[in-house]
Every structure is written in structure tokens, then in C-alpha cells.
């Protein structure tokens, strides 16, 4: 049926088809080879990515590059190959599959004589070992791969990766013995649904259309123009699905009448009777969108540098825990404090903690400032614990030791809290925060201001400088440090 | 003395090293505590016009990374145990197809969902043992925030050099904690790194036909040909058992030779990636440390030095394959080897127990364990002082 003169440059005619007699895979293989021959692309510009199953026996039949992958994941691997190919390794001026007509028209570029060595090499020396991209990437996948890898198909369609998926739909998992698949229609008999499947099939075309696929076609393996539809899919710049409905003569035909008429009835009953090119939209493939969105800069942005300005008079090893409520700027306050300590030639180590839901509950930071190099970043016994809210108190209560100085917002010192702290025997420094501040969340800064009062070798001016540099200082915050 | 510093965490340095080492493809899925690595990599890669995309799950993420690497990109992804569990099949695929890729495992407290924001070191046995067939893949450990840079660079180089997946092991405490890094020191470390590429097949010069998995000696690395660039040669990639040409074969001698090569390539090339630091103080007491426990160890040893107590210290970057040479040398001269680990039962200690005892049956192995967070230096000091 498919008799393009160049078909043997793509289909390995020294190999025997490894499929059962009458299996649709044989016809699909031939149609694919014919489509490739009609494309005129050099075989090694073509990547055949195969899934697992009878469909996965295809590799030896083709003289293209072949990448045999794991079950269901073929589409995801293909997406990775294609994105790298077009975004990283393509020369924007190179001829692509879309301009195969131009290539056909140019006699110099078209050769009929043999595998590979007779295709004019379009590569330049500058392409090196990895260019030039714009290869043709297509996936050969069956029921199994489509079921396990359903999410990868949806993702490739949604992303509009420039790959073609040739889905061999024979309603069963052939290689493993004809079990029911995600594409098995309701009432269809399989090895595992001998009295007829109780569950309807995934409507793969509708699912992928809903996933924004720009090209969807459905054909039968026996269609005489299968190669032309496949070629149209290959030429489509974006995600293309060609669902080919076929017979599994090893299993499915044992339990179900499957003449052409029977198949057409099944397709009608499952709302899949539309044939040919069902969807073809004008879309922009992902790689092109990506290249438009992200223009390469020379270098990536590096974090800001901070110079140390003054030294402390004596050795210092300060361990602090700051605790408050999520969203109130505890971690920002601690980062600012860390910068100030660094400017004072102290090494710093900061660790933050939240409940996993970052927006609510407590927010705490552990900060060590030391003249010595810091190896151990955990605080076994804090010098100061600054507590600005009830959330914070509940979280750090167990960290408070007898030798810890607790600087705490006065609003928290209800009798119960006072009793708990007095049992520990730690020093308590109560600071008016929430009761007097307009912005309650600035409480943590009032506590930090007290810290500077307590630890006289710490330079408050550096903290003020760091606050001002951040650009986040409100007037009320600035007034706390006057 | 005035210096320039930057306040950085492990995630930032991992991402800088990846970019500097030539990584140009990232696909990822967020998970605590690795999400900050995702963000840091995404930002930088997109600034440079390289590929960074979010995937719909960890299976997709790693599959896309490996696909890109098959095409010739340098790929990395980052996750934690729940995501790594999903990636295991694809890591096996990368191993069998000899495809470079780096997977960062930011450890958190398990089992299963566990505690996302608690640091731990409980995946050591896991990353050693998840390839069917018992094959080893290299595992490098990050031992501090600053170390995140060099070890990441090394992991990417190693993955290219050996054409295999490499696990870069770190933990929440290092990824998400910040410290001041001396900018000049960082620049110095950066200037020392050299980028390694996988060996490319020279398709211009070669008279012979390309074979995807060709080697003369078992430890040789097959040459790489990118699929889809249109040379005279075909690329044939598969994880099914194959001969040197990549053709399916389940019982030919050559196919079994290929399996042997997969083993030898990793285990017998160990001299190329034995990264460790040994401080020999001629003591009968030794300590082996890695990951953040290396920091606890350094803090402890610094305190002991003040009392003029010195022990031997083996600090490991290469965790797997096990570095038998330095461990055996250490064991031969030690009465006690202390191994601190943040996991239940001392996973690494148990793995190297045989190696230690075979070298010195009288050596006592002392495990210092905690299930989460960090080992306190005081516990190490107390234990070392007992035996010195």
C-alpha cells in the first residue's frame, strides 16, 4: 500500500515485523515510514521515542534514531528531548520540518540514493556536537503507555510541546495478554473482563482537546491515507495526536467481533466516530513562546555584598530566638538584625521555622552572632528569647532555660504565662508593644530595640542603617529606634 | 580587616554551582525543603535563556530532565524523599541508558510525608539501594553551606564524566539555613573548578559506525552522540538489556558484558571521585563524619583542641560507593571509630561496619544518633573524651 521509493531509507527491510499476523501495528509502522519518506528529512534528524508494549518492539524496524523508554513515560522523555532540542540547540535559521516543501523543491537537497550519507549535511562546523536542532520527535505509544502516562499526554498537550504522539489504540494491553486498559470500551471483552467491561473508556481525543491540543486526528490502521495524516501531524508545529484504532489479533479478536463495521459501531457507541483530522488550531509551540519570553542575559544576578564596618570590643557569642506570628515580619526583622551583626564583624547563622503552612501560625527565627566561626547552627540554650505574640510563645516556650533572658511583649503576660515563666526562673523583660503600637506587628522591633539596650556592644546605628536600606521602614518603625 | 560577605543558604549555592557548571535544563516539582533550590535554579536559568520549567509531578520532572540529557543538555532536579520515591524508576532508566543527570535529595524527617520542616539524614540506605540489580550510583554529600557550591559542581562533572545519574545528598538544615560567606573565598573556590563534559563521538572523523554503548575496557565510558542532529550515524537508546550497539539482547555474552560494564564503570572508577579530607593526628580514636554532622564534628573538635585533645577525623564527601581505602587505613590504626548520624540506628555505620571490622576486628564502632535536627557537639565531645 505504501510504496514511496525512499521508504527503505526509514524502514529497516532486513528486519521482520515482530507483530502477530493481522496486527494493526504492522500497518501503522508502514504508514509512519511512508510519512517519513514523504517528509524528505534525513533519518538521523528523526527521533522515534517508543513506549513499552508490543508498540515498543518498533525500534529495530526503523533507521531513525530510536529512544526506547519506560512505560507511560515516553511522552515526558519526548517533551524533554524536544524542549532541549529547540530551545537550546537550534539555529533559528536552520530549515525545519515545516519547510520540507522548500527542501523538496531544491534538487540539491533531495537525494534518492541511500541511507544518511546521501542526505546533504545541513550542519555547520559551529553547530558542534549538539546542534543543530529542530529534529522531528514522535512517540509510539499504546493503550498501556497512554493509561499510565495520561498525565504526561495532558502536560505535553497543555505545554504544546512540538511532538507527535501516534497512539496505537487496540482497546487492550496486548503484550501482557490482552487485559483491559484505560481505552477499553464499556462491554468490551478482554482477558480481565471476559463478561464485558463494566467501565467506559477514557475519551482520549476529548481529554487532549480539553488540554489545549492543537492537532488531533483519528484514523483506522487500515486507512489508505494514514501516512498523509501522520505527515500532516509531523508537520504541525506543536503537540499533535494521531489516534490509530486497530486490531489486536493476538487477544482482542478472540473475544470480540472486530470487522471494520464492528469497530465503527464501537466508535459510534463511545462517541468517537469522528475520523480524519478532528482538531487543527493555529497555535504557538512552547519552545517559541519560551524563546520569546526569556532573552538570555550575560550573567545571573548575584546576591548583594555586605561589608563589615566595625568590630566588637570583645569576643561575643550571642544566641537569639525571635518568635511571633506568621506574616508579622519576624524573619525579616531577624534578617535585618543578621545583616547588622555582620556589619559589626560577627559571623551569623540564621534558621527560620514555620508550621508547614507558611501563612498562618507561628514564625520563629534562630540567630547566632559570634566572633568565632559558627559550625553548629542549633541553639541548645538561648541567651535571649524575644516573644512578640501568643503563637510565638507557644512555639518557643520549651526553649526557655533558667539562664535565658526573655524579652516579651507586655500584652502576653497574663497570669498563666507569668506563672509558667516564674517556674523556670528566667529573667523577664516586659516591653510595651501591641498595647501602644498602631501597627501591632512592629512589636518584634520594639523587642529588638530592647535587645540593643541590653547588649551595649551591639551597634544600634548599624541596625537602623540596615532597616533604612531595606526600603521597608515605616515612620512608626523608624520612631522605635530614635 | 574589612571584607565582602554575602548572606547565603545552601539552595543559593547549589543553584550557582549548577549554572556555573553548565546546567541548561531544569524541570522540577516543589517539595519542602527543596523548593528553594527550585526557585533559585528557575530564576537563574530563565535569566540566561536556558530551560527551566515546572512539571506536573516528580515523575514528569525527572523524565523531562533525562530526555533533555539524552538530547545533550546538562540537567538537574531537586526533591525530597516522597518525590525521590517517585523518581526511582527514572533513575534506573538513566543508569541503564548511561544518561548523565543530577538529582538533589534534600532530606527531611520520614517516614513517608513525615515532617517537612524537620531536618534529618535518614535516606542514606535508600539512595544506596534503589537500583534493581544492586548497582551503585555515586552519592556525594554536602557538608556545609559553603560546601554546597563545590560538591554540586563536582556532582555535575561526575555525572558527565561517568555518564550516569548522581545523587547529591543534603538536608533541610543546610539548604534553608543562612550564613555569611566570604565573597573572596567563594570566588577562589569558583576559580578552581573546571567543567567536565561527557565524551562526544567524533562523527566527522570516524570511519567506523557509531555504537551507542561501545567500550574496550569495562571501565571505559561510551562516547555520546546526540539524537536528532542529522549525522551519518544513528543513536540507539534503550534500557532494555542490550549489546554494545544498543540492540536488544537478553542472553548474549556481549549483553552480559554490558551489565558488567555498568557495574565496573561506577565501582572501579572510584579513584576518579574519591572526595574526602583526612586529618591524621596519630590518635587511637577516630571520627567519620559527613552531611551536617560534619559541622557538629568540627564544632566538637574545635572545643577539644582548646584542651589539647586531638583525634583523627575523616570527613567524607563521596558516600557511595564506599571509599574503602581511607576507611580501612583509619580502621587499622583506631581502637574506636565514632560515627554521628541523624537517623535511627546509624545507617552509614552499619553499611561500613564490615569494611571496618575486616580491617581491624578489634576496632569498636560507636554510633551517635538522633532522629531529627542536628547532633549536638557536646554529645560528640563527651563520647570522644571517654576514649581518648
The pLDDT value recorded for residue A106 is: 35
CB-side neighbour CA atoms (13 Å) of A222: 11
| Closest-CA distance of chain B to residue A150, Å | 11
| Closest-CA distance of chain B to residue A267, Å | 31
Q: How confident is the model at residue A111 (pLDDT cuts 50, 70, 90)?
A: very low
E strand or H helix at A341, and its extent?
helix A330-343
Q: Is B236 in the same domain as B129? A: no
Q: Is B103 in the same domain as B228? A: no
Q: Which of B102, B106, B86 is nearest to B94 (CA)?
A: B102
Between the two ends of chain B, the Cα-to-Cα distance in Å is 38
CB pair distance less than 8 Å for B48 and A300: yes
Find the helix packing angle between B81-96 and B58-71, rounded to 10°: 30
How far, in whole angstroms, is CA A102 from its chain's centroid? 36
The whole-number average pLDDT for the span A275-290 is: 96
Chain B residue nearest residue A127, CA to CA:
B229
Q: Is B138 in the same domain as B57? A: yes
What the block records as the C-alpha cell of B12 is 543559593
Chain A residue nearest residue B177, CA to CA:
A351
**Structure-derived torsion over alpha carbons of residues A10, A15, A19, A23, reported in degrees to the nearest 10:** 50
Chain B residue nearest residue A358, CA to CA:
B117
DSSP state of A271: T
| Closest-CA distance of chain A to residue B203, Å | 8
Identity of the residue in B8, B68, B116 whose CB atom sits nearest the CB atom of A80: B68
Q: Is B127 in the same domain as B186? A: yes
What the block records as the C-alpha cell of B288 is 567519620
What residues in A contact B53, CB-CB < 8 Å? 83, 159
The pLDDT value recorded for residue B204 is: 79
Candidates A290, A300, A337, A395: best to mutate against B (most CBs of B within 10 A) is: A300
Last residue of a domain, one of B140, B167, B192: B192
The whole-number average pLDDT for the span B330-335 is: 98
Last residue of a domain, one of B235, B269, B303: B269
For chain A, helix, strand, coil in percent to 5 are 40, 20, 45
Q: For chain A, which domains are there?
A: 7-293 (3.40.50.970), 317-480 (3.40.920.10)
The pLDDT value recorded for residue A123 is: 66
Chain B residue nearest residue A85, CA to CA:
B71
Q: Is B148 in the same domain as B297? A: no
The pLDDT value recorded for residue A102 is: 37
Residue A260 and residue B148: Cα distance in Å, rounded?
62
Instruction: Give the total number of structural domains in chain B.
Output: 3
Residue pLDDT, tens place only, B116-150: 999 999 999 999 999 999 999 999 999 999 999 99
CB pair distance less than 8 Å for B231 and A378: no
CB pair distance less than 8 Å for B70 and A63: no
Residue pLDDT, tens place only, A365-389: 999 999 999 999 999 999 999 999 9
CB pair distance less than 8 Å for B66 and A80: yes
Q: Is B80 in the same domain as B18? A: yes
Find the helix packing angle between A74-83 and A150-159, rounded to 10°: 30
What the block records as the C-alpha cell of A334 is 531577624
Chain A residue nearest residue B298, CA to CA:
A375
Q: Which of B285, B300, B286 is nearest to B381 (CA)?
A: B300
Q: Which DSSP string corresponds to B116-183?
A: TTS---TTHHHHHS-STTS----EEE--STTHHHHHHHHHHHHHHHHTSEEEEEEEHHHHS-EEEEEH
Specify the CATH number for the domain of residue B308. 3.40.50.920
The pLDDT value recorded for residue A228 is: 97
Residue A64 has pLDDT above 70, yes or no: yes
Chain B residue nearest residue A88, CA to CA:
B50
Residue B114 has pLDDT above 50, yes or no: yes
Instruction: Decide: helix, strand or coil at residue A288.
Output: helix
Residue A404 and residue B19: Cα distance in Å, rounded?
44
The pLDDT value recorded for residue A424 is: 96
Identity of the residue in B73, B238, B377 whose CB atom sits nearest the CB atom of A68: B238
**Structure-derived torsion over alpha carbons of residues B246, B250, B256, B257, reported in degrees to the nearest 10:** -20
Q: Which of A142, A9, A152 is nearest to A81 (CA)?
A: A152
| Closest-CA distance of chain B to residue A247, Å | 26
Last residue of a domain, one of B220, B239, B269: B269
Q: What residue has cell string 487543527?
A: A280
Find the helix packing angle between B293-306 and B377-387, rounded to 10°: 50
Residue A82 and residue A94: Cα distance in Å, rounded?
16
- Name A406's bridge partners: A385, A428
ipTM of the complex as predicted: 0.97
Number of H helices, E strands in chain B: 13, 15
CB pair distance less than 8 Å for B238 and A88: no
Residue A278 and residue B236: Cα distance in Å, rounded?
34
Q: Please state, rounded to an integer, the average pLDDT across all residues of chain B.
A: 97
User: Which burial class, exposed, middle or buried, applies to A228 when counting CB atoms under 10 A from its CB (0-12, 13-18, 19+)?
Assistant: middle
Query: Omega of the bond prior to A132 within 30 degrees of 0, cis?
Result: yes
What residues in B contact A89, CB-CB < 8 Å? 71-72, 226, 229
Chain B residue nearest residue A125, CA to CA:
B204
Candidates A44, A55, A100, A367: best to mutate against B (most CBs of B within 10 A) is: A44
**Which percentage of chain B shows pLDDT scores above 90?**
96
Residue A89 and residue B72: Cα distance in Å, rounded?
9
Residue B370 has pLDDT above 70, yes or no: yes
Q: How confident is the model at residue A90 (pLDDT cuts 50, 70, 90)?
A: confident
Count of other CB atoms within 10 angstroms of residue B158: 22
Q: Please state, rounded to an integer, the average pLDDT across all residues of chain A.
A: 91
Residue A327 region by backbone torsions, left for phi larger than 0, else alpha for psi between -120 and 50, else beta: left
Residue B183 and residue B154: Cα distance in Å, rounded?
20
Residue A82 and residue A134: Cα distance in Å, rounded?
8
The whole-number average pLDDT for the span B59-87 is: 98
Q: Is B290 in the same domain as B368? A: yes
The pLDDT value recorded for residue B172 is: 96
The pLDDT value recorded for residue A124 is: 65
The pLDDT value recorded for residue B230 is: 87
Identity of the residue in A44, A342, A354 whose CB atom sits nearest the CB atom of B230: A44
The pLDDT value recorded for residue A365 is: 97
Identity of the residue in B6, B49, B299 whose CB atom sits nearest the CB atom of A294: B49
Close Cβ partners of B101 (under 8 Å, ≥ 6 residues apart)? B62, B65, B66, B69, B75, B76, B77, B91, B94, B159, B165, B166
Number of H helices, E strands in chain A: 16, 16
The pLDDT value recorded for residue B334 is: 98
Residue B345 and residue B348: Cα distance in Å, rounded?
9
Instruction: Decide: helix, strand or coil at residue A318.
Output: strand
The pLDDT value recorded for residue A114 is: 29
Residue pLDDT, tens place only, B211-234: 999 999 999 999 999 999 888 899
| Closest-CA distance of chain B to residue A91, Å | 11
Q: Is B207 in the same domain as B295? A: no
What the block records as the C-alpha cell of A200 is 467506559
Q: Is B255 in the same domain as B302? A: no
Residue A404 and residue A398: Cα distance in Å, rounded?
11
Q: Which of B203, B202, B137, B173 is nearest to B294 (CA)?
A: B173
Residue B244 and residue B305: Cα distance in Å, rounded?
56
Range of the domain at B289: 274-387
Residue B369 has pLDDT above 90, yes or no: yes
The pLDDT value recorded for residue A438 is: 94
User: Which burial class, exposed, middle or buried, applies to B235 when counting CB atoms under 10 A from its CB (0-12, 13-18, 19+)?
Assistant: buried
CB pair distance less than 8 Å for B70 and A123: no
Q: Which of A369, A330, A349, A387 is nearest to A455 (CA)?
A: A369
Q: Is B62 in the same domain as B106? A: yes
**Per this entry, what is the length of chain B?**
388
The pLDDT value recorded for residue A129 is: 80
Q: Is B135 in the same domain as B226? A: no
The pLDDT value recorded for residue A96 is: 37
The whole-number average pLDDT for the span A270-282 is: 97
Chain A residue nearest residue B63, CA to CA:
A77
Residue B133 and residue A114: Cα distance in Å, rounded?
42
CB pair distance less than 8 Å for B4 and A374: no
Residue A479 has pLDDT above 60, yes or no: yes
Question: Is A327 within 8 Å of A297 (Cβ atoms)?
Answer: no
Identity of the residue in A60, A69, A119 whose CB atom sits nearest the CB atom of B93: A69
Q: Which of A163, A175, A167, A164 is nearest to A142 (CA)?
A: A167
CB pair distance less than 8 Å for A135 and B227: yes
Residue B105 and residue B76: Cα distance in Å, rounded?
11
Identity of the residue in A45, A80, A133 whose CB atom sits nearest the CB atom of B63: A80
Identity of the residue in B200, B234, B299 whose CB atom sits nearest the CB atom of A376: B299
Q: What are phi and psi of B277, to 5 degrees?
A: -130, 125
What the block records as the C-alpha cell of B7 is 548572606
Q: Is B110 in the same domain as B148? A: yes
**Which percentage of chain A shows pLDDT scores above 70?**
92
Strands B139-141, B165-171: parallel, antiparallel or unpaired by DSSP?
A: parallel
CB-side neighbour CA atoms (13 Å) of B4: 8
CB-side neighbour CA atoms (13 Å) of B27: 26
Residue A117 has pLDDT above 70, yes or no: no
The pLDDT value recorded for residue A105 is: 35
| Closest-CA distance of chain B to residue A193, Å | 29
What residues in B contact A69, CB-CB < 8 Å? 63, 93, 239
Residue A120 has pLDDT above 70, yes or no: no
Specify the CATH number for the domain of residue B50. 3.40.50.970
> Chains A, B: CB contacts under 8 A, how many?
264
The whole-number average pLDDT for the span B44-60 is: 97
Chain A residue nearest residue B23, CA to CA:
A88
CB-side neighbour CA atoms (13 Å) of A11: 23
Each as own residue / partner, the long-range contacts of residues A193-202 (CB below 8 Å, 24 or more positions apart, any chain) are: A194/A255, A200/A270, A201/A171, A201/A270, A202/A146, A202/A147, A202/A150
CB pair distance less than 8 Å for A73 and B90: yes
DSSP state of B32: T
Amino acid at each position: 500500500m505504501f510504496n514511496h521509493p525512499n521508504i527503505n531509507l526509514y524502514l529497516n527491510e532486513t528486519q521482520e515485523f515482530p507483530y502477530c499476523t493481522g496486527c494493526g501495528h504492522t500497518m501503522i509502522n508502514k504508514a509512519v515510514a511512508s510519512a517519513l519518506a514523504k517528509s524528505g528529512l534525513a533519518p538521523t534528524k528523526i527521533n522515534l521515542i517508543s513506549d513499552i508494549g508490543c508498540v515498543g518492539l518498533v525500534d529495530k524496524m526503523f533507521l531513525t534514531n530510536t529512544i526506547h523508554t519506560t512505560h507511560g513515560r515516553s511522552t515526558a522523555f519526548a517533551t524533554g528531548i524536544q524542549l532541549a532540542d529547540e530551545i537550546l540547540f537550534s539555529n533559528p535559521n536552520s530549515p525545519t520540518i515545516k519547510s520540507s516543501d522548500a527542501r523538496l523543491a531544491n534538487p540539491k537537497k533531495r537525494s534518492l540514493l541511500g541511507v544518511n550519507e546521501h542526505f546533504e549535511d545541513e550542519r555547520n562546523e559551529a553547530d558542534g556536537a549538539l546542534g543543530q536542532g529542530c529534529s522531528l520527535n514522535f512517540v509510539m505509544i499504546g493503550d498501556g503507555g497512554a493509561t499510565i502516562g495520561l498525565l504526561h499526554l495532558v502536560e505535553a498537550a497543555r505545554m504544546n510541546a512540538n511532538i507527535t504522539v501516534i497512539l496505537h489504540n487496540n482497546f487492550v494491553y496486548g503484550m501482557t495478554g490482552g487485559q483491559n486498559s484505560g481505552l477499553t470500551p464499556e462491554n468490551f471483552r478482554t482477558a480481565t473482563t471476559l463478561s464485558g467491561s463494566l467501565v467506559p473508556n477514557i475519551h482520549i481525543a476529548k481529554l487532549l482537546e480539553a488540554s489545549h491540543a492543537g492537532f488531533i486526528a483519528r484514523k483506522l490502521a487500515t486507512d489508505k491515507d494514514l501516512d498523509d495524516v501522520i505527515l500532516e501531524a509531523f508537520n504541525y508545529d506543536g503537540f499533535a495526536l494521531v489516534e490509530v484504532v486497530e486490531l489486536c489479533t493476538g487477544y482482542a479478536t478472540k473475544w470480540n467481533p472486530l470487522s471494520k463495521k464492528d469497530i465503527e459501531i464501537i466508535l459510534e457507541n463511545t462517541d468517537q466516530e469522528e475520523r480524519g483530522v478532528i482538531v487543527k488550531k493555529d497555535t504557538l509551540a512552547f519552545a517559541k513562546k519560551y524563546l520569546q519570553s526569556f532573552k538570555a542575559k550575560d550573567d545571573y544576578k548575584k546576591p548583594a555584598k555586605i561589608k563589615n564596618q566595625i568590630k566588637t570590643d570583645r569576643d561575643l557569642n550571642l544566641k537569639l530566638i525571635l518568635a511571633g506570628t506568621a506574616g508579622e515580619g519576624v524573619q525579616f526583622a531577624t534578617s535585618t538584625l543578621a545583616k547588622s551583626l555582620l556589619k559589626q564583624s560577627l559571623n551569623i547563622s540564621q534558621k527560620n521555622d514555620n508550621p508547614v503552612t507558611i501563612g498562618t501560625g507561628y514564625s520563629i527565627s534562630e540567630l547566632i552572632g559570634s566572633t568565632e566561626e559558627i559550625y553548629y547552627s542549633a541553639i541548645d540554650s538561648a541567651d535571649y528569647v524575644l516573644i512578640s505574640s501568643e503563637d510565638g510563645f507557644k512555639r518557643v516556650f520549651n526553649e526557655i532555660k533558667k539562664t535565658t533572658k526573655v524579652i516579651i511583649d507586655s500584652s502576653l503576660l497574663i497570669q498563666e504565662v507569668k506563672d509558667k515563666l516564674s517556674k523556670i526562673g528566667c529573667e523577664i523583660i516586659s516591653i510595651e508593644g501591641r498595647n501602644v503600637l498602631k501597627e501591632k506587628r512592629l512589636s518584634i522591633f520594639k523587642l529588638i530595640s530592647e535587645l540593643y539596650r541590653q547588649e551595649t556592644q551591639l551597634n544600634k546605628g548599624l541596625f537602623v542603617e540596615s532597616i533604612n536600606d531595606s526600603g521597608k521602614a515605616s515612620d512608626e518603625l523608624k520612631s522605635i529606634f530614635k | 580587616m574589612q571584607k565582602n560577605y554575602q548572606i547565603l543558604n545552601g539552595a543559593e549555592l547549589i543553584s550557582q554551582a549548577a549554572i556555573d557548571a553548565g546546567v541548561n535544563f531544569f524541570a522540577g516539582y516543589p517539595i519542602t525543603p527543596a523548593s528553594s533550590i527550585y526557585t533559585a535554579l528557575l530564576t537563574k536559568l530563565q535569566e540566561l535563556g536556558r530551560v527551566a520549567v515546572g512539571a506536573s509531578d516528580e515523575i514528569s520532572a525527572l523524565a523531562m530532565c533525562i530526555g533533555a540529557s539524552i538530547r545533550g543538555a546538562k540537567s538537574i532536579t531537586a526533591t525530597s524523599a516522597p518525590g525521590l520515591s517517585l523518581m526511582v524508576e527514572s533513575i534506573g532508566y538513566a543508569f541503564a541508558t548511561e544518561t548523565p543527570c543530577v538529582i538533589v535529595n534534600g532530606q527531611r524527617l520520614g517516614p513517608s510525608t513525615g515532617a517537612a520542616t524537620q531536618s534529618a539524614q535518614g535516606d542514606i540506605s535508600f539512595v544506596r539501594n534503589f537500583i534493581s540489580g544492586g548497582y551503585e550510583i555515586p552519592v556525594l554529600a554536602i557538608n556545609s553551606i559553603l560546601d554546597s557550591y563545590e560538591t554540586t559542581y563536582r556532582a555535575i562533572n561526575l555525572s558527565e564524566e561517568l555518564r550516569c545519574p548522581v545523587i547529591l545528598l543534603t538536608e533541610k538544615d543546610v539548604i534553608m539555613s543562612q550564613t555569611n560567606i566570604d565573597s573572596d573565598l567563594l570566588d577562589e573556590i569558583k576559580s578552581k573548578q573546571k567543567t567536565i563534559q561527557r565524551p562526544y563521538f567524533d562523527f566527522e572523523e570516524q570511519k567506523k559506525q557509531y555504537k551507542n554503548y561501545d567500550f574496550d575496557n569495562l571501565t571505559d565510558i561510551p562516547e555520546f552522540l546526540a539524537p536528532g542532529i542529522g549525522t551519518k550515524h544513528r543513536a540507539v537508546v534503550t534500557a532494555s538489556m542490550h549489546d554494545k550497539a544498543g540492540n536488544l539482547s537478553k542472553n548474549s555474552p556481549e549483553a552480559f558484558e554490558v551489565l558488567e560494564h555498568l557495574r565496573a564503570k561506577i565501582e572501579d572508577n572510584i579513584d576518579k571521585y574519591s572526595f574526602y579530607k583526612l586529618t591524621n593526628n596519630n590518635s587511637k580514636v577516630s571520627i567519620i563524619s559527613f552531611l551536617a554532622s560534619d559541622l557538629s564534628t568540627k564544632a566538637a573538635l574545635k572545643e577539644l583542641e582548646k584542651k589539647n585533645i586531638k583525634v583523627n577525623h575523616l570527613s567524607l564527601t563521596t558516600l557511595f560507593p564506599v571509599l574503602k581505602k581511607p576507611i580501612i587505613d583509619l580502621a587499622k590504626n583506631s581502637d574506636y571509630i565514632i560515627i554521628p548520624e541523624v537517623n535511627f540506628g546509624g545507617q552509614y555505620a552499619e553499611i561500613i561496619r564490615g569494611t571496618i571490622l575486616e580491617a581491624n576486628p578489634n576496632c569498636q564502632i560507636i554510633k551517635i544518633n538522633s532522629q531529627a535536627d542536628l547532633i549536638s557537639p557536646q554529645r560528640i565531645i563527651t563520647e570522644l573524651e571517654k576514649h581518648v
